[in-house]
Amino acid sequence: MKILVTGGAGFIGSNFVYLLLEERPEWKIICVDALTYAANIHTLNDAFKSPNFVFYKEDIRNREGISAIFEKERPDVVVNFAAESHVDRSIENPAIFLETNIIGTAVLMDACRKYGIQRFHQVGTDEVYGDLPLDRPDLFFHEDTPIHTSSPYSTSKASADLLVQAYHRTYGLPVTISRCSNNYGPYQFPEKLIPLMINNASQNKPLPVYGEGLNVRDWLYVKDHCYGILAVLEKGRVGEVYNLGGHNEKANIEIVKIILSELGKPESLITFVTDRKGHDQRYAIDPGKAMAELGWAPTTMFKDGIKLTIQWYREHMDWMAECTSGGYMKYYEEMYGNR
Ligand code: NAD
Ligand code: TDX
């Protein structure tokens, strides 16, 4: 099996590469990543040691470059993780989200049509369903929940999903889509809630909580997400959407307090700042279809996963320092300076 993984130098893509090396060591992995600000090539240091791993620095928007990789490697399966993934950045600068997340996905699928493929899998998000009210804990996102997006990020991801479904119906491209809730774990760029709070708390810097910190996210350990994607590839039905999540809802403020407590830091570091524009209230996935059809279920409880995650960042402060060098301080100042 030859599997082409885009976005493999980012958070979830790199965890997926490591899962494949562990669980499917006979597969050839062709990793394609443009190495944007969100990537850290050192994340893949151990993958480079495998003879079954090859890496191409390429942009999924580049039709000729992507075509040349397909021509040379002839992948059997493509899994598309590559994306601009941060909601706050999409609010500041939507254009690149439309280009990478929509056009990039189309470029990949055009290459799949040209060269033939057993499966194109699109890594999607629960944010395409919009949000749920805080006072209706009985409501969950199902695969047939209407698409109703809030941010330029979620709109670009929803557009990509619609395009994937259109390529299936129009051209018969064998596609699947997974839509996952918030991931946490090793190798996440410290612009996202959990690594940002771990990084700031470690340095006794203020922890910027948006609004009152009451927005709810449904957290899944990244390795469980990766097992879910592998299950969709191997057991999922072509043309179908699968929601992945672990019924692990937490208000942001709870997460921040857990991090402070694990690190032995005072709650006085918490600073409430101006809310995110259009901030989604609550995400909550019903993963019943994936569980019933694929036999998939998360195995890492949040109480264990968050400890593993905090421990990982404490042991990899050099990795964090690499991510936060370069443009990070400028980004931080622009995003949080006057908040
Ligand atoms: P990330 O930002 O950590 O990584 C994205 C990777 O894609 C980076 O390595 C980056 O260099 C690469 N990339 C960006 N633009 C590219 C381009 N034009 N061409 C080639 N490579 C490019 O993101 P992530 O958190 O790992 O998310 C991966 C996927 O999973 C995304 O599609 C995201 O929408 C989806 N997702 C993420 C979460 C989450 O909680 N992080 C939840 C559900 C779904
Ligand atoms: O500094 C912060 N303070 C804060 O209160 C940051 C960065 C976030 N927050 C809040 C906003 C959200 O309610 O924490 C929550 C989580 O924020 P993010 O980590 O930015 O994630 P979210 O916006 O929920 O989106 C994530 O999950 C779905 C990923 O970034 C997406 O790629 C994925 O599709």
d(CA 261, CA 115): 52
In this prediction, residue 339 carries a pLDDT of 85
Q: What's the whole-model pTM score?
A: 0.98
How far does the centroid of ligand 1 lie from the alpha carbon of residue 208, in Å? 23
* Predicted pLDDT of residue 295: 98
**From the centroid of its chain, how far is CA 339?**
26
Task: Supply the pLDDT for residue 71.
Answer: 98
pLDDT in tens, 63-91: 999 999 999 999 999 999 999 999 999 99
Q: Residue 89 phi/psi, 5° resolution?
A: -65, -35
DSSP 145: S
* pLDDT(289) > 90: yes
284: phi then psi, degrees, rounded to nearest 5: -155, 115
Summarize the confidence of residues 250-275 as an average pLDDT: 98
Instruction: Classify 247 as helix, strand or coil.
Output: coil
Active site residues: 126-127, 153
How far is 264 from 95, CA to CA, in rounded Å? 41
pLDDT digits (tens, 9 = 90+) for 29-45: 999 999 999 999 999 99
DSSP designation for 79: E
190 lines ligand 1 (CB under 6 A): no
Q: Which ligand is nearest to the CA of 185?
A: 1
pLDDT band at 326 (very low <50, low <70, confident <90, very high): confident
Domain architecture of the chain: domains with CATH: 2-187+219-246+281-301 (3.40.50.720)
pLDDT for position 179: 98
Q: How far is CA 308 from CA 27, 70, 221, 324, 335, in A?
A: 28, 37, 10, 21, 28
pLDDT at 266 over 90: yes
Ligand nearest to the CA of 206: 2
Distances (CA, A) of 49 to 1, 53, 223, 226, 318: 19, 8, 21, 21, 20
- % residues pLDDT > 90 (the chain): 98
d(CA 215, CA 200): 20
| 81, 126, 151, 210: residue to mutate for ligand 2 pocket, most atoms within 8 A of CB | 210
Q: What is the pLDDT of residue 321?
A: 94
Q: What is the pLDDT of residues 109-163, one digit of tens each?
A: 999 999 999 999 999 999 999 999 999 999 999 999 999 999 999 999 999 999 9
Distance, C-alpha 170 to centroid of its chain: 28
For all residues of the chain together, what is the average pLDDT?
97
pLDDT of residue 113: 98
- Per-residue pLDDT band for 221 (boundaries 50, 70, 90) equals very high
Residue 219, pLDDT above cutoff 90 = yes
